[in-house]
Amino acid sequence: MPGKPTYEEIEQRLKDLDKESVNCKRTEEALQKSEKRFKNVTNSIEELLVLLDQNFKVQMINSKLAKAYNVSLNEFPGKYCYELFYGRKHICEGCPAIKVLNEGKVIRGALRYRPDGRIFDRTAYPFIEDNGDITGVIVIGCDIAQQKQAEEKLRESEEKYRLLVESTPDWVWMCDRKSRHTFSNNSVKEILGYEIHEILGTTALNLIHKEDRKSVQKWFQNAKKQKRGWRGSVIRWHHKDKSIRFLETIAEPIFDDKGNLIGYSGIDRDVTARKLSEMALQKAHDELQEKTIRLEVKKISLEEINTAIKVLLKKREEDKIEIEKNVLTNVKELIEPYFEKIKKTKLDDQQEALLSIIESYLNEIVSPFTRKMSLKYLNLTPTEIQIANLIRHGSSTKKIAEIMNVSPRTIETHRKNIRRKIGLESKRANLRSHLLSLH
């Protein structure tokens, strides 16, 4: 027989019991705390929740279910689910809990809620112990009436948005923080020549003109840093056919539920025709301005040349007048005295006539008539000018023919040509009178 425990052994046993008591108390407190937290969790979810045992007795319900069925959280212990919720004496037909307990599978189906007729999407899960045994069923119900209504409104909203997006000729797009396209409407085909699937996942910078990429990348980084969008910028893009398109872009940032920037949504408008017109207009303006400058320079140069020509012409006129004066002086001083001496000698008729002609020609040299005839009637030949001068001095056709040693008919032909060239062909004006008026 074992001996009686010693005092020390009893004292040690008491100490061990105290420790166990403390541990039990702590375990109980932890369990109560865990149960309270579990209840808080189950009461916080929006879905209806109930836990049944193998006999369909209610083990637990959450506050949402209690409120929905107008049941107190304290009156469910020991009651069957069909008794508590539907006032029945037997289990409901088609109850998913039966199939869950028999097959151990998750069962889902719709259930009409008795008080107001709402429909719940009900899912039944097997409650499995640590050893693998199924000892109950957890049923969770979701109000699909509200859900369907919300889904319908969402579908209507999405349909309106889709129609709006697809009807606009502008390119509607979305991208992530790395500028990779996550959405595009069909207008991208018309504007850039790409199909939607060719755009999705691509980086915008790869399609932007290389001369614009650096500046676009810079303000895109600044926009991300400041969590803002942009508007009004015009960017050059590469079309699929290698041509250039000018797109005016507007974009707004996209944030997640926590306020983090996750991307951008925007609209780009093709303004290529407008930009090309502006560029052509600017080019024409620049060319016109350049031509104006060249014409102004040429005008100044021509004015300088014109001034120089005027000076030269004036000088030439002065020189000509001086030469005429000298010629006149020489004729009068050196030649005319000899005419007087020759006239005093014995001359026959022909000699007198020739002397008269020579004297007349000398007078014409110092007279402006010959020069006027040459300038006014540039189409007259030297012979015609000579004959016109003789006619002006009163010589007859026969006399002129003798002097020039030609036939009178030749002189008549010259007279007709002279009248035609000076504008008297169809007029009855006297040729000599007209020639005299030119002195």
Question: Mind listing the pLDDT tens digit for each residue in 228-282?
Answer: 998 888 999 999 999 999 999 999 999 988 889 999 988 899 999 888 888 888 8
Token digits of residue 272: 């290529």
Residue 111 has pLDDT above 80, yes or no: no
The reported pLDDT for the residue numbered 367 is 58
- For the segment 123-147, what is each residue's pLDDT rounded down to a tens digit? 888 888 878 888 888 888 776 657 5
Q: Which residues of 317-336 are buried (b: 16+ CB within 10 A; e: fewer)?
A: eeeeeeeeeeeeeeeeeeee
- H or E element at residue 37: helix 7-44
Put residue 425 in one of left, alpha, beta given phi > 0 → left and psi -120 to 50 → alpha.
alpha
Q: Is 118 or 409 the better-scoring residue by pLDDT? A: 409
Question: In whole angstroms, what is the distance from residue 160 CA to residue 164 CA?
Answer: 6
- For the segment 380-397, what is each residue's pLDDT rounded down to a tens digit? 787 887 888 888 878 888
Q: Which CATH superfamily is 168-270 part of?
A: PAS domain (3.30.450.20)
Check: CB of residue 195 under 8 Å from CB of residue 180: no
Question: In whole angstroms, what is the distance from residue 177 CA to residue 216 CA?
Answer: 14
Look up the CATH architecture of domain 45-162: 2-Layer Sandwich (3.30)
Q: Is 318 or 209 the better-scoring residue by pLDDT? A: 209
The reported pLDDT for the residue numbered 431 is 83
CATH of domain 346-436: 1.10.10
Residue 400 has pLDDT above 80, yes or no: yes
The reported pLDDT for the residue numbered 241 is 92
Mean pLDDT, the chain, integer: 79
- For the segment 34-58, what is each residue's pLDDT rounded down to a tens digit? 667 666 767 777 788 888 888 888 8
Token digits of residue 13: 């046993």
Residue 309 has pLDDT above 70, yes or no: yes
Question: In whole angstroms, what is the distance from residue 170 CA to residue 27 CA?
Answer: 67
